[in-house]
Amino acid sequence: MSDAAGRSGEPVRGRSVRFRLLAIALLPMLVILPLLLGVAIYRWNAKFDATLISKVNGDLTIAHQYLARILEKTGVQLRALSLSARFHEVLAPDARGSLQDLLDETRKEIGLDFLYLTNDRGDVLASSPPLQHRPRSDWPIIMSALSGQVPATGVDIFGNDELAAISPALAERARLDLVPTPNAVPTDRSTETRGMVVHAASRAMLPDGGAAALVGGTLLNQNLEFIDTINDLVYRAASLPEGSQGTATLFLDDVRISTNVRLFEGRRALGTRVSAAVRSAVLGEGRTWLDSAFVVNDWYISAYEPLVDSYGKRVGMLYVGFLEKPFSEAKYQTLMIIIAAFIAITAATVPIFLHWASSIFMPLERVTATITEVERGNLSARTKMPVLGDEIGRVAVHLDSLLDQIQERDRQLREWNEELNVRVRERTRDLEHANLKLEATTKQLIMSEKLAAIGEITAGVAHEINNPIAVMQGNLDVIRSVFGADADKAKVEFRLLDEQIHRISQIVTKLLQFARPEEYAGYVERHAPASVISDCLPLVQHLLNKTEIAVVRDDRANRLVLMNRNELQQVLVNLIVNAIHAMPEGGTLTLRSFDAERDGHQGVAIEVADTGIGMSAEVIEKIFDPFYTTKRRQGTGLGLSISQTLIKRQGGQITAESRVGSGSTFTVWLPEAS
């Protein structure tokens, strides 16, 4: 029966076009697409969760590195003190200074809570602050320092009595009332009196050849500056989506002793405890927890790692994490949108697919019959189908006119080819223009990134220089005080040292002004350019007196400018000083001010012109770059860069014109004060 049906033209159901069209239309939408969508959602959800875990793991790494840096820095500072000349001077029998004073000064300078010197018998030779009782001397940190040359550091847990022996204030600061916390391990304790201490010791040699140890420490209980610094390092502004917040915590055992997790009314969750699951995994098994965890009163994407003391015991945890709720809501909303969109698309498209399938058969049958007639030799056969608007209907109509249209199509193809060539040439020109703009933008972006990197490095260098300068200045003052009247014998040397320290401080100030100009911005007010120029001349008069330079004034500006007066004076004095340096043999310094327009904006121009040695075109291209200088060792290369930054901040610009041997002209343009 099936063979007869096939020969008579009736299609077998399993092989019919209708059946296959329905399968093609509905199978992808109702079977394949839901499967693919489910797999994609599952993979996306897994990747989403893995990304959050990866982020919090990276956050924990930053926090761990910061704690390790504090430990290392404390040991290095104690080592430096034990090797310092001043330390050995105050230990000498005829010492002029006090070991107690040195320990007080050092403890406050490096931010320790206690610092003392103990010999290998456990006797305390000096301490800051004065100890209430003899402290323990059998700490592994101290024993390690006494037996080796390398400082020993670590985290140790001090009992309340041990803290009280050092300072009752430390013992009181370590005391925390425990707060009942959901999901925590039950406990009968109501108070945590122990203290977690950054503990460090460094070997020191006594005048009699005996070994001693400098021991110092910082109490981490309620040390909010420590935990807030970690949080600021890990979770900078805009690093998390709106609604989320980053948190960091230091645990002693399972008790929060320093945290920025908040309870009600903004109160920090000090004294609350970690959940039992986290405690078991981290403190019990020594694993790093990277998962969602209940933190005080909400769920957080969390990372916990165990902290080990100098005895090798797990005594606490370091935690960072961020609120999970915004991410969960975003994920849920995304899933709901995808599912709703799929349902809506399915409901809208399936009836359309069915209608399209039913409209295919008649055109297909007529096309098949026409092709059969043509194969039999009847070249005049046509489908004579009306224009239905769909592809198959258009195919049937096109089949009727195919032979008549071949020549027309050929002519059209040639025209289209020529038009395409024209468009290709136009697009090529547009692409070349776009490439030029892209290159210019790329250069500007690279320069911006370089300046940003230089700014960060500069700020770091300036910060690192400031501390030694402060120490040098302080020690210089101490030397004057120690020598007393005898210091006059080295008055010249002291003056030179003061001048060089002042010079370094000025350089540091310029570095900081270049790196963070917004912090040095002052209030702005309206000024007449001629008045500002007049105030600048007395500031450089001592330089003018050294050479034969004639100053020419030409004040024709009628408009006022809006800028901080000190900043504008700084810019003009810098340009005038550069002009004076460019005329070592004398010359003419011309100062002009006049009204000028730029890019359709009203403003004022101030020109500083000299008749000095001039500059080449290569130098002019670089003079506004940070740290570029033509004065070799006499300049920092920041003057013009900072001046350009100050002027641009007010919407202005500094330009330079010069030729070698013909002098230079610098023009400061500022918009008119509204």
pLDDT band of 512, cuts 50, 70, 90: low
Q: What is the pLDDT of residue 671?
A: 93
Q: Which residue has the higher pLDDT, 323 or 511?
A: 323
In percent, the amount of the chain with pLDDT more than 90 equals 27
Q: Write down the mean pLDDT value for the chain.
A: 82
Least confident of 9-23, 155-169, 594-608, 646-660: 9-23
Alpha-carbon distance 535 to 429, whole Å?
Answer: 55
Cβ contacts of 471 within 8 Å, gap of 6 or more: 109
Least-confidence region, from 72-81, 326-335, 409-418, 627-636: 627-636
Question: DSSP labels for 634-671?
Answer: G--S-HHHHHHHHHHHTT-EEEEEE-TTS-EEEEEEEE
Nearest residue to 176 via CA among 166, 155, 190: 190
Please state which of the ranges 89-93, 146-150, 201-205, 510-514 shows the lowest mean pLDDT. 510-514
Instruction: Tell me if 332 sits within 8 A of 324, measured CB to CB.
Output: no
Query: What pLDDT does 4 receive?
Result: 42
For residue 117, give Cα distances in angstroms to 61, 94, 166, 458: 34, 19, 13, 38
Residue 403 has pLDDT above 50, yes or no: no
Where does 228-346 show beta strands of DSSP type E?
246-252, 255-259, 289-295, 298-308, 314-323
- Report pLDDT digits (tens) over 581-593: 888 888 999 999 9
Task: Round to whole Å and give the CA distance between 355 and 378.
Answer: 34
For residue 313, the model assigns a pLDDT of 95
| Number of neighbouring beta carbons within 10 Å of residue 548 | 10
Give all domains of the chain, ordered by start, each with its CATH number.
86-329 (3.30.450.20), 404-520 (no CATH), 522-671 (3.30.565.10)
pLDDT of residue 157: 94
CA distance 324 to 622: 50
Please provide the DSSP assignment of 47-96 as one string.
Answer: HHHHHHHHHHHHHHHHHHHHHHHHHHHHHHHHHHHHH-HHHHHHHSTT-S
Predicted confidence at residue 263, as pLDDT, reads 77
Alpha-carbon distance of 511 to 455, in angstroms, equals 8
Residue 263 falls in which region: left (phi positive, over 0), alpha (psi -120 to 50) or beta: beta
Using pLDDT thresholds of 50, 70 and 90, give the confidence band for residue 642: confident
C-alpha 1/C-alpha 481 separation (Å) is 122
Question: Cα–Cα distance between 118 and 201 in angstroms, integer?
Answer: 10
**Residue 329 confidence (pLDDT):** 79
pLDDT higher than threshold 70 for residue 632: no
Q: Per-residue confidence at 623, pLDDT binned at 50, 70, 90?
A: confident
Q: Does residue 175 have a pLDDT over 90?
A: yes
Candidate from 290-299, 468-477, 579-588, 645-654 with smallest mean pLDDT: 468-477
Q: What is the pLDDT of residue 569?
A: 86
Contacts of 167 (CB under 8 A, 6+ apart): 113, 114, 129, 131, 132
Asked if 369 and 378 touch (Cβ cutoff 8 Å), the reply is no
128 contacts 175 by C-beta, under 8 angstroms: no
- Per-residue pLDDT tens over the stretch 268-324: 889 999 999 999 999 999 999 998 888 877 788 899 999 999 999 999 999 999 888
In this model, does residue 522 exceed pLDDT 60? no
Q: What angle do CA 451, 456, 462 make, to 5 degrees?
A: 115
Task: For residues 432 and 439, give the distance between their C-alpha atoms in angstroms, rounded to a whole number.
Answer: 10
Q: What is the pLDDT of residue 2?
A: 44
Question: What does the pLDDT read at residue 156?
Answer: 94
Name the β-bridge partners of 314. 308
In three-state secondary structure terms, 273 is: strand
The two tokens of residue 599 are 């890019």
Stretch among 80-84, 137-141, 282-286, 359-363 having the lowest mean pLDDT:
359-363
Predicted confidence band at 13 (pLDDT cuts at 50, 70, 90)? very low
pLDDT > 70 fraction of the chain, expressed in percent and rounded: 82
Residue 457 β-bridge partners:
none
Separation CA 640–CA 574 (nearest Å):
7
Crossing angle, helix 639-649 and helix 491-515, to 10 degrees? 40
Tell me the β-bridge partners of 212: 119, 204
pTM of the predicted structure, to 2 decimals: 0.50
- Go through 400-419 and write b for each residue having 16 or more CB atoms within 10 A of its CB, e for each that does not: eeeeeeeeeeeeeeeeeeee
Q: What mean pLDDT do residues 342-356 have?
A: 77
Confidence of residue 407 (pLDDT cuts 50, 70, 90): very low
- pLDDT value for 519: 54
